[in-house]
Structure 1
Amino acid sequence: MAPKVLISDKLSPAAVQIFKDRGIDADFLPDVGKNKEKLLEIIGQYDGLAIRSATKVTEKIIAAADNLKVIGRAGIGVDNVDIPKATARGIIVMNTPFGNAITTAEHAISMMMAVARQIPAADASTQSGKWEKSRFMGREITDKTLGLVGCGNIGSIVADRAIGLKMRVLAYDPFLTPERAMSLGVEKVELNELLERADFITLHTPLTDKTRNIINADAIAKMKKGAYLINCARGGLADEKAVKAALDEGKLGGAAFDVFVEEPAKENILFGTSNFVSTPHLGASTSEAQENVALQVAEQMCDYLLHGAVRNALNMPSISAEEAPKLAPFVRLAEQLGSFAGQLTETAIQGVKLEYAGAVSEMNVQALTAAAITGLLTPLLQTVNMVSAPILAKERGVKVEEIRREKQGAYETYIRLTVITERQERSVAGTVFADGKPRIIQVKGINMEAELGQHMLYITNEDKPGFIGHLGMELGNNGVNIATFNLGRLAPGDDAICLVEVDGRVPEDVMSRLEAVSHVKQVKALEFQ
């Protein structure tokens, strides 16, 4: 029986035809995505669901999707899909991460020009019969400084276009290496310097806990008087109330937003503000981009439903069915090693070295490397997957080196990941035991054996008496239960590392007290899925 796919949003007719040409029974019902009850009623019939942004794939929809195997999002954003619930039901969630980068970059440039020359207000005035030539005094962009907050795929395209418009370009991006910055022709700076120097600031970063309200009142206070702010990335990167106040006070010369905290934005504090330009999330809205992402998602879904091939999956590694049983635990290990290193890395990553020793060196190390880079980049980029991770690393100038070697040392097989930053090198090694569970076996040259749980404490300290007791008392007195406890040291009295699994998040005040202990060097809370 042929697989059955529901297309619940408006998708290109050419994409619908791809499903039919490849023998998949496709129902094109573009209005069903807006009708929750109807979608809930029929979703159980389908093996695949192709969507854009209108369909909300909630926990309730997923619970009713008894046969659903894959959700394909034509576009990059998957805020409308409950990925954890989909994963729990064994449903793959795919997107098309690179189909609309040029379109979004061009929209950011368009918005910058529109706000600099007050084009929307001038247009409305002129078409209403006024001729207010003296009212609309604009600003040139030639010879001005553009600041990019985020210099990945879209940001680098904006940089290229801006340089062509004779602008100087600054970039703040923790993953941008000096070499990559040089090749792009941009100047890599810290955020505060960018805020102080830029005439125009445009945002090109995902929305994460670290980037939420990255442009707040304090950030705006550091900007030049009369600077312009453009956001075509994600609502929530800029504090809308703070932007409104800065526009009213004249601190900002103008702002242009394509995205908002709450969408659809029928009402917003910024609407009606002088020299504020807005569009209804049009970053990806060109005929070329819509066609590209629609065709891509149709091909990806067909490949999976017909052959089991997985591309651009956000919740499943790209591994063939034959490799899966043997490779899967090592994929998990590689991703955990990457996540471990990524959560501890706070400066630009220049390179990653992956050593595969013993039996693992004969496996599909490309998939393992992709898994490791996924773990490494996820703390900052969140939506990175095994297909996009190598590309994202390359875009940021991160050099990836793979080394295969025969068995060395006490373990039959292991993976060692070394992160090279501007300041230091940090390595972490792990293996998979007979139970199929990944274990950490070495951190920064210190041997230990630890299984990674959801909530972990990583502590580096000098090996001195009383530390373990102090740690146990501090956690116990604050209701934090220790699940597992692992120690390692170079030598008596020398550097030591403590990895503790706890049953919940450790309060910030407890973290601060532990960090204040005289012989403690670093305390970090780590999270693993």
Structure 2
Amino acid sequence: MAPRVLVSDKLSPTAVQIFKDRGVEVDYLPDIGKDKEKLAEIIGEYDGLAIRSATKVTAKLIEAATNLKVVGRAGIGVDNVDIPAASRRGIIVMNTPFGNSITTAEHAVSLMFAVARQIPEANASTHAGKWEKNRFMGVEITGKTLGVVGCGNIGSIVATRGVGLKMHVIAFDPFLSEKRAVELGIEKVELDELLARADFITLHTPLTDKTRNLINAKSIARMKDGVRIINCARGGLIVEKDLIDALKSGKVAGAGIDVFETEPATENPLFGMENVVCTPHLGAATSEAQENVALQVAEQMSDYLIKGAVTNAINMPSITAEEAPRLKPFIKLAEVLGAFVGQVTDDAIKEVEILFDGQVATMNTRALVSAALAGLIRPQVADVNMVSAPIMAKERGVILSEIKRDKSGVFDGYIKLTVKTATKTRAIAGTCFSDGKPRFIQIKGINLEAEVGEHMLYTTNQDAPGIIGLLGTVLGKSDVNIANFQLGRNRAGGDAIALLYLDAPIPEDVLAELRSNPKIDSAKPLHFDINGG
């Protein structure tokens, strides 16, 4: 059955066609995003939801979206999506951070020029038949210091444009490396230094708890007198009242504001101020950008729903369409390893360590970690998946560590999962052979090679004669067929394990008989979803 996508905001007809061409059923209802009740009524029918900024994906809507797997935002800002709620429900949230990068960067530079030369006011005055040449005394930008707060996709473009305009560009971004700064021809500084040195400050950071109200009375006080501020990012980055006070006092000489605390902004104290240029959230408003983000979101959502590729996800590691086929068997392996430990562990999990050896260490291990956590948690929380698992593990206080190393054994690559509770440590390792099927290669430090089946039985015992016969006899008399039987031990007379691949689930009475036998230390039935995901 083909996946279904609802487009609830206005999107390019070409984007709608992309969904159809990729084999996705699509309903184009561009006004329904504004009707919360109607949207909640029908959202349960869809696997995907494509939106712009008008649709609000709230926790209430997510609760009604029983089949939803992905939300695609045509644009960069996702503050109209409740990402924690989506993550807990296992819904991937994607955006399109590159489609409107140049357009938004160009708008920021345009506002910088407009503020520096008071172009909108001069234009209005001239159209009114005035000739106020002396009134509009501007400033040059050449040779001035441009402070870029947030040097990601958009900020880095603005930075290079500033360099091209012969400005001295300084940037604050916790993730900006010295090497990248050198490549851009800019200087990396801390925020306080940027505020103190910049003649123009332009904001290009997402709105988070850490960045909200970043520009306030306290930060403005650190700035140069006569600074000019540009914001084409998010309205909540600036405390508008504090900016207005600074504009009135002259501390801030001018501002170019494209985004506001409340939108649509039909009324705002900034409007009408002589030294302020305001635009109605036009950062991405070019025909090229609108088309680009629409096409990108359609391609990304289609690739995920049809191929399993994850691109530009906010709450999930990316998996490219090229790496998806190679990665898929190891995602299943990681999930199976987690599921094994999850089914044999009854106590609360304290720590999880995941070792990637050989070729697996070169893969997208973030996706593999998510898969292992999903398998580990699923025996307790049935509807967990790769999106929600890391959130759940964090909420439960699980300490997670990841190790990568070069090939160290006979296998080209393998994954080893070690889980600690308050009383026990359990470890299991596995690999994938050329057939793409997962195999267990070590349990409790005991080497073996076992195919993974849908129904399995795991037993532990002291190494002694008669165990094979005991298991075969008890299962055989109850008509439980054994498809595969693997044994292992750490030494003669030491700890031993058996892993049986069965054709059907083991009946409770048969399990009880095995557990009552003094030769068997423990017997655990296992179930693996070998065909899913």
**Per the shorter chain, which TM-score range?**
0.5 to 0.7
Task: Tell me the equivalent position of 1:57.
Answer: 57
SS of the equivalent of 1:236 reads helix
Sort the Cα spacing of 1:371 and 1:187 in 2 relative to 1 into closer, same or farther, 3 A: farther
Structure 1 position 432 matched with structure 2 position 407: no
1:130-158 alpha-carbon deviations (Å, 9 max, x no partner): 23222211111111111111222211111
Alpha-carbon contact 1:204-1:231 (below 8 Å) kept: yes
Per-residue deviation at 1:227? 1.2
One-letter code aligned to 1:406 = S
Per-residue deviation at 1:283? 1.2
Task: Tell me the equivalent position of 1:366.
Answer: 363
Sort the Cα spacing of 1:67 and 1:356 in 2 relative to 1 into closer, same or farther, 3 A: closer
- Quote the Cα distance in structure 2 between the aligned partners of 1:155 and 1:27: 36
SS of the equivalent of 2:77 reads coil
SS of the equivalent of 1:322 reads helix
Task: Tell me the equivalent position of 1:323.
Answer: 330
Alpha-carbon contact 1:330-1:432 (below 8 Å) kept: no
Structure 1 position 22 matched with structure 2 position 22: yes
Per-residue deviation at 1:328? 5.0
Sort the Cα spacing of 1:17 and 1:122 in 2 relative to 1 into closer, same or farther, 3 A: same
How do residues 352-363 of structure 1 correspond to structure 2 at under 5 angstroms? 360-363=357-360
Alpha-carbon contact 2:16-2:26 (below 8 Å) kept: yes
Alpha-carbon contact 1:170-1:189 (below 8 Å) kept: yes
What TM-score, normalized by structure 1, do the two folds share?
Answer: 0.64
Sort the Cα spacing of 1:90 and 1:36 in 2 relative to 1 into closer, same or farther, 3 A: same
- Quote the Cα distance in structure 2 between the aligned partners of 1:372 and 1:177: 26
- Quote the Cα distance in structure 1 between the aligned partners of 2:291 and 2:418: 44
- Quote the Cα distance in structure 2 between the aligned partners of 1:434 and 1:169: 49
Task: Tell me the equivalent position of 2:90.
Answer: 90
What TM-score, normalized by structure 2, do the two folds share?
Answer: 0.64
- Quote the Cα distance in structure 2 between the aligned partners of 1:290 and 1:402: 41
Task: Tell me the equivalent position of 2:77.
Answer: 77
- Quote the Cα distance in structure 2 between the aligned partners of 1:235 and 1:372: 35
1:306-326 alpha-carbon deviations (Å, 9 max, x no partner): 233322222233455533333
Sort the Cα spacing of 1:307 and 1:281 in 2 relative to 1 into closer, same or farther, 3 A: same
One-letter code aligned to 1:297 = V
- Quote the Cα distance in structure 2 between the aligned partners of 1:152 and 1:184: 12
1:263-308 alpha-carbon deviations (Å, 9 max, x no partner): 2222223222221111121111111111111111111111222233
Instruction: Choose 10-19 or 88-97, whichever is displaced more.
Output: 88-97
- Quote the Cα distance in structure 2 between the aligned partners of 1:144 and 1:207: 27
One-letter code aligned to 2:365 = L
Alpha-carbon contact 2:331-2:367 (below 8 Å) kept: no
Structure 1 position 107 matched with structure 2 position 103: no
- Quote the Cα distance in structure 2 between the aligned partners of 1:245 and 1:173: 27
How do residues 121-520 of structure 1 correspond to structure 2 at under 5 angstroms? 121-318=121-318, 320=324, 321-328=328-335, 360-363=357-360, 365-368=362-365, 403-406=405-408, 432-433=418-419
Per-residue deviation at 1:356? 8.5
How many residues are paired up? 370
Structure 2 spans left out of the alignment, 5+ residues:
339-352, 371-386, 388-402, 428-533
- Quote the Cα distance in structure 1 between the aligned partners of 2:246 and 2:420: 60
Identity of aligned residues (%): 66
One-letter code aligned to 1:367 = N
Alpha-carbon contact 1:356-1:404 (below 8 Å) kept: no
SS of the equivalent of 2:72 reads strand
Instruction: Choose 321-330 or 28-37, whichever is displaced more.
Output: 321-330
Structure 1 position 11 matched with structure 2 position 11: yes
One-letter code aligned to 1:132 = E
Alpha-carbon contact 1:247-1:274 (below 8 Å) kept: no
Task: Tell me the equivalent position of 1:118.
Answer: 118
SS of the equivalent of 1:304 reads helix
Structure 1 spans left out of the alignment, 5+ residues:
332-354, 374-384, 386-400, 415-430, 442-529
Per-residue deviation at 1:104? 1.2
One-letter code aligned to 1:56 = K
Alpha-carbon contact 2:357-2:407 (below 8 Å) kept: no
SS of the equivalent of 1:171 reads strand
- Quote the Cα distance in structure 1 between the aligned partners of 2:361 and 2:179: 29
RMSD of aligned Cα (Å): 3.1
SS of the equivalent of 1:253 reads strand
One-letter code aligned to 1:404 = D
- Quote the Cα distance in structure 2 between the aligned partners of 1:219 and 1:30: 41
